Amino acid sequence: MGKIQGEGDYESAKKFDDDEAAFAKSDRVDRAARDAEPQTQAEADEMTKAEEIGKSRSKGEDASAKRGSRVSDKPVSGAK
């Protein structure tokens, strides 16, 4: 039986971050983006509808998304 892993599993988090960075630097990003494009007008309509539903539940744009950067790993002042 394998090791139980959950929140705070630093080894898995580091592997995920490393794999994500390698993917972002690879030539696979453009191909993945093209593969994700809708193939039919029905798919495009479905994606638009899903996006609208998601946005309707949103509290608004994430400020870090507008800057194009990730949220800092630094603790908030006063946080322990």
Supply the DSSP string of 3-65, one letter for each residue: PP--TT-HHHHHHHHHHHHHHHHSTHHHHHHHHHS-SSHHHHHHHHHHHHHHHHT-----HHH
pLDDT-above-70 percentage for the chain = 66
Confidence label for 10 from pLDDT (cuts 50, 70 and 90): confident
Confidence label for 6 from pLDDT (cuts 50, 70 and 90): low
What local confidence, expressed as pLDDT, does residue 80 receive?
45
Lowest mean pLDDT among 3-17, 20-34, 58-72: 58-72
Q: Distance between CA 9 and CA 17 in Å, rounded?
A: 12
Confidence label for 60 from pLDDT (cuts 50, 70 and 90): confident
